[in-house]
Amino acid sequence: MLLSGSQILIECLKEQGVDTIFGYPGGSVLNIYDELYQHPEIRHILTSHEQGASHAADGYARSTGRVGVCLATSGPGATNLVTGIATAYMDSVPMVAITGNVPTPLLGKDSFQEVDIAGITMPITKHSFIVKDIEKLADTIRRAFEIAQEGRPGPVLVDITKDVTAAKTDYERTAPKLISRVTNTITEHDIETAVKMIGKAKKPMIFVGGGAVISNAEQELREFVEKVDAPVTDTLMGKGAFSGDSEYYTGMLGMHGTKTANLSVTECDLLIVVGARFSDRVTGNASKFAKKAKILQIDIDRAEINKNIVVDHCVVGDVKAVLDILNRKIEKQYHKEWIEHVMAKKDAMPVKYPKDRLTGQFVIEKIYELTGGDAIITTEVGQHQMWASQFYKYKKPRTFLTSGGLGTMGYGLGASIGAKVANPDKMVFNIAGDGCFRMNMNEIATAVRYQIPIIQVVCNNGVLGMVRQWQTLFYGKRYSHTVLEDKVDFVKLAEAMGAKAYRITTMEETEAVLKEAMALNEPVVIDCMIHCDDKVWPMVAPGAAIEEVFSEEDLESKK
């Protein structure tokens, strides 16, 4: 069958089961968009900015496990995807970013809207392709989807010159390659050693990261926790892999982790790390991390072993597969005294916030109460992100979507659109600060255009909250360029873009507004006016060990 490059691209996307593309047209992709016009079976969401398209593809992927797809033109269109591609790379999100480029004869001549996007994205993708020969187009698209999904997932870029989208060649439909779990790296010796370590432990602790979510290991993890009989902590990326309302759960680990989790990891004699990479925000001072414990790491990526923390033993392979084997090998363990000891800490050291006025924590708790923990929560980055991790209990994987590794302000709104498009029956909230909301708030217009009923909650404190918190604690209250002294009215702004909007100033108003927003089934912005000095507690100071975690009360007592 003789097809143009644009037709071959669309057919290859259909081969891969792609039902949605997030993008923005331009000269170098006009042939692709012209062909897309003929294929209503692939829904195209025109975002307000290419960065919004990349984050929407990311949110689609994180919430489903399927590959997210975004599309942009050459030059500035392509470079506008870069932040979203890097975000997906840091958090191992399967995504295929397709860009157009100038015709092949114009490459390397500083042509209009020419940029080497394959070269630019090489460090932030699993692979970057540039297609200059139509004979290679179909196989490149297929290979891009394979690479995005196989092993540790991540983004892949495919740059296609405009002449390739117009040229013609034969096309033959091919079924997608079956992506297998990585099990060939799992050895009997590694499993037996892990079983022995677990059997000897008196005070084990299980530390869960994003790998457990990515591998869909929820069921195996729950069985593993019950068999090992150990308390559980997690990372931002790991939330929902193990239920936040479980009796074993101690809260998040690290800089803004709970005292219970941080102190228990410091005290345990075996730390079992399930799909986590020991981010610096988790470990604090790496030389002092979990010094009393043997460390057993389970991870699909051998490059993560001994990279940030030297471990005593590892099992390299797909988390779901490894846990399944371990569950069949290990005998039921009993650590009643250790668990009671840890949970006594949890009862004695809860995460608290002011109850005499409207706060971001209160709003997030109220969202949890009204949704029963059954919503998808996306966030931007900062104080509100930490509050969303602390005060909403994630019971299922793929329900908390946030930029963990790159820390991308402006991520959440696009991600919420992608998540809602992929999960139309789920309630989707994006939690933002006012500083983050400004980054990509134009995507409210996208939600309105397509009537995508996301609920945008803005924790509006008039400052860049997390940076200001650091300035308060570590920079002598010198608030250098963190006070947002302007008169932007988010309610009027949202209404101008066609969304329904509310402003909340008191605790008493909150429930009624949230209930009304949830019932509307249309895009809503809720501007929540909170105090500029509200902080995220507890906290570990930069460079400190995680056991040096302190609360506001600890700080006051030192004074």
CB-neighbour burial class of residue 481 (10 A; exposed 0-12, middle 13-18, buried 19+):
exposed
Cα–Cα distances in Å, from 162 out to 12, 70, 439? 17, 17, 31
374 backbone dihedrals φ, ψ, rounded to 5°: -105, 10
Measure the CA angle with vertex 13, ends 403 and 129; round to 5°. Answer: 65
Considering the candidates 197, 252, 427, 466, report the single residue annotated as catalytic: 466
**Pick from 86, 60, 74: nearest CA to 24:** 74
Q: Count CB atoms within 10 A of the CB of residue 474.
A: 10
N-terminal to C-terminal alpha carbon distance within the chain: 78
In the annotation, is 38 catalytic?
no
Rounded Cα distance between 214 and 65, Å, is 7
Considering the candidates 126, 162, 320, 345, report the single residue annotated as catalytic: 162
H/E run at residue 23: strand 20-23
Considering the candidates 14, 113, 329, 395, report the single residue annotated as catalytic: 113
- Percentage helix, strand, coil for the chain under 3-state DSSP, each rounded to 5: 45, 20, 40
> What DSSP state is assigned to residue 382?
S
In the annotation, is 474 catalytic?
no
Cα–Cα distances in Å, from 447 out to 6, 271, 355? 28, 43, 33
**Pick from 36, 27, 26: nearest CA to 4:** 36
Q: Extract the tokens encoding 46.
A: 């025109």
In the annotation, is 518 catalytic?
no
Considering the candidates 50, 218, 220, 304, report the single residue annotated as catalytic: 50
In the annotation, is 385 catalytic?
no
Spell out the residues 6+ positions from residue 93 whose beta carbon is closer than 8 angstroms to its own. 58, 61, 62, 68, 87, 153, 154, 155
Rounded Cα distance between 520 and 226, Å, is 41
Considering the candidates 112, 200, 247, 515, report the single residue annotated as catalytic: 112
In the annotation, is 162 catalytic?
yes
Instruction: Give the SS3 label for residue 435.
Output: helix
Residues for the chain: how many in total? 559
Rounded Cα distance between 55 and 329, Å, is 41
Instruction: Give the SS3 label for residue 44.
Output: strand
Residues labelled as active-site residues: 50, 112-113, 162, 466
